[in-house]
A and B are shown apart, each in its own frame.
Chain A
Amino acid sequence: MSQSNNVKQKRLILRTVILAVFIIVLGYTIYSNVFKNPAPVQVGDIAPDFELQTTNGETVKLSDYRGKGVFLNFWSTYCEGCEIEMPYMDSQYQFFKDKGVEVLAVDVGEPALTVKKFAEKYNLTFPVLLDEKQEVTKRYGVLPIPATFIIDKDGVVLDYIEGSLPEQSIRVLMSKIVP
């Protein structure tokens, strides 16, 4: 009977291997397709680098801000939530800019003039970036705006918030990324 036990053992191993491979493949497929968060940038990730022009024609690169905390905001002039939080962001920026926190406000593809006039209207002092072809907006997977990424001095995304923020929250978030 030892030979037959041997055969039986081999068969059990084969069956286990086939079922295990099956479960791994199936698990991966269902995980990647259904349960995985589709957001390309998640909390804990290194914020992907980008390079955009400001309304003043300067070039801004995210990686140049290493060592500083970055309050990265996606917005547009037609979004009411953005309009509400812009002055809050600016007043907190006045307080935090000397402490090493930068605000980058990325407009999601409006004409430069429209954005510039809006920034002038609200006296925004932080850099307002023009994502003309929406490459950065897409890279960050931003759908509803306003959306804010809180990035620390090492470039790690500490938090991601969708929706308009009250001034108090902006203050708390900015104080988190003071280097």
Chain B
Amino acid sequence: MKIVQCECGHNNPYGTQVCEICGNPFDENEQLLNMRYEGAARRSQTYNTTIVDKIWNFFSSVKVGIWLIVLVLLGSVLGTVLPQQQYILSNAPPETFYEEQYGWFGWLYYTLGFHELFKSWWFLLLLALLGLSLIVASLDRIIPLYRSLKKQRVTRNTSFLKRQRLFSASEVEHPEESIQSVKKQLEQKRYKVKEENGNVLAEKNRFSRWGPYVNHTGLVIVLFAAMLRFIPGMYVNETVSIREGEYMAIPGTNYEYYLENEEFSIEYYDPTDEKYEAALERINGLQAKTYQTDANLYRNIGSTIPGAQPELEFVKSGKIIVNEPFTFDSISLYQTGYGTEFYKMMFQLANKETGEQFGTVEVNLDNPQEVHDLGNGYKVKVLDYFPDFEMKEDGPATKSKFPNNPGIAFSMISPEHPEGEISFVAIRTNVELGDNDYKMEFISMLNRDVTQLTVKKDHTLWLIALGGFIFMIGLTQGMYWNHRRVWLQQVDGEVWIAAHTNRGWDGFQQEITQCIQDTKLSEPVDQDVTVKKSKESE
């Protein structure tokens, strides 16, 4: 490790631009000093020997950090070009959907993982590397900055003073008194003043310099919290559909909690209301105004083995409306959708010839009862049931388990036909085996509502909020306050004023002007302006 020794005798680390102690600049060519990190050596530049140091140095670079931000932004932008997987048709397999819909671009999009951007390994990697870059770059800067601000001396090297952006040198009769007068003024403006051999260093709002690092800490916390979501039990985001009158285990509770959909109700916009008439005509149908689930929460005190009949103990009831979730423990249930399905089909057993009726049969389409005894020797048996009926080569079959198109084979038993006559009934279909005397007359279809709920649990929210809060503190701290320093020094009978701030030079210059108005000291000049002017005139 090379060491830079200053005239004052202090050993500075390699890479130092301005002596930590006296402020002597080592680079004589610069007209103004770069005070960004007090001219201190950035840690990473000091050595580059092991692989760990090399990785460290790479991530210490602001340029690398900015590139990572740009890449994350580009990724996020590209992720919006085609719909994310969660928004495509639920029955479309994503591995073929993107290619079929969007051609080679869709294929590329899917292959590179853009269809599930926040779960793709490279996007997670980019975010993580950004986090690392924030940590490394901040550590590499805050430690040297803190050290040099802590170590700084009141009396500075003359070339340090001369090359500050605000500077003036004045010959006055009573230098000591002038300095004391300015000192008093500065104290009144809440500067912290230190004195050494008649020289003065006044400083305020140093904490503003830590703003960016506080801000970075907040960002790192947010990134960390986002990562915590992948730990089991920290985050649940699932859906559950419950038919009216039924209960289901709540996902993420390991069969401990069950929710009953006691009643689902929906209110539509009135299509005759003048206010909505035109709009409703345009969408050509009913528009839900509000819908809600009246729910009962139960705790399973029995077996929590999947499939086992739970022993339910009532906990509480409540309603679930869009944006008004039902909460218990740390779980929130949100109303996200609804559906309707066929529930019960009503039939009448009737004599075809006389029209005489022998009683109604109610078929529960989720779980039909096999025998319906109508009394007086009349009976209806359900021989077979196909919830989603279709005709296949080898006979009737079902396409799915959902009662979309119920088909029922009945055996109608009557005193004349104790063996039963067979009738097959589906929507707009009635097939008989042979010439029956009796028939199953369709009366009505009963629907029932299915509520769709989203189950959410998020133990990372408070941490994200904390990170965001710290982020804002850092931002405020760095933006609303400026670190201001004024050096007053006697050099060869002259009084030198040098001043530095990290931001807001005009206000600072005015403040100094106010402080020196009782003296004959000349106002500090903004050398940045003079330097620029001289450069322009060249």
Contact = CB atoms under 8 A, between A and B. Distances in A.
A111 B387 contact: yes
B340 interface: no
A30 B125 CA distance: 8
Contact of B53 (A15, A51, A139): A15
Interface in A5-19: 8, 11-12, 15-16, 18-19
Nearest to A114: B385
B399 interface: yes
Contacts of A139: 306
Contacts of A26: 124-125, 128
A85 interface: no
Nearest to A52: B307
Contacts of A33: 119, 121, 124, 230
A138 B397 CA distance: 25
A172 interface: no
B398 interface: yes
B307 A131 contact: yes
A15 B384 contact: no
Task: From A22, A29, A52, name the one whose CB has the most chain B CB atoms within 10 angstroms.
Answer: A29
B401 A136 contact: no
B383 interface: yes
B308 A22 contact: no
B401 A15 contact: no
Interface residues of A, number: 42
Nearest to A34: B121
B366 interface: yes
Given A52-B307, A133-B248, A30 B124 contact: yes
A148 B383 CA distance: 30
B45 to A, nearest CB: 13
A77 interface: yes
A162 B72 CA distance: 38
Interface in A105-121: 108-114, 117
Contacts of A11: 43
A114 B386 contact: yes
Contact of A117 (B56, B227, B383): B383
Interface string A90-118: 00000000000000000011111110010
A60 to B, nearest CB: 9
A48 B306 contact: yes
B305 A133 contact: no
B370 interface: yes
B121 A110 contact: no
B306 A15 contact: no
Given A29-B227, A48-B306, A18 B386 contact: no
Interface string B35-46: 000000001000
Contact of A78 (B227, B231, B382, B399): B399
B52 A136 contact: no
A50 B53 CA distance: 54
Contact of A51 (B128, B248, B303): B303
A135 interface: yes
Interface in B212-264: 227, 230-231, 248-249, 255
B370 A113 contact: yes
B68 to A, nearest CB: 14
B283 interface: no
Identify which of B56, B227, B307, B397 gathers the most chain A CB atoms within 10 Å of its CB. B307
B469 interface: no
A32 B52 CA distance: 26
B401 A25 contact: no
Interface of B: 1, 43, 47, 50, 52-53, 55-56, 119-121, 124-125, 128, 131-132, 135-136, 227, 230-231, 248-249, 255, 303, 305-309, 365-368, 370, 382-388, 397-401
9 contacts: A19-B55, A22-B128, A33-B121, A49-B305, A50-B306, A51-B306, A113-B382, A131-B307, A133-B248
9 closest A-B pairs by CB: A51-B308, A135-B306, A139-B306, A52-B307, A50-B307, A34-B121, A110-B401, A136-B307, A117-B384
Given A8-B1, A18-B135, A25-B227, 15 more contacts: A12-B53, A15-B53, A16-B52, A19-B55, A22-B128, A29-B230, A50-B307, A51-B305, A51-B306, A51-B308, A61-B305, A78-B400, A113-B370, A135-B255, A135-B307
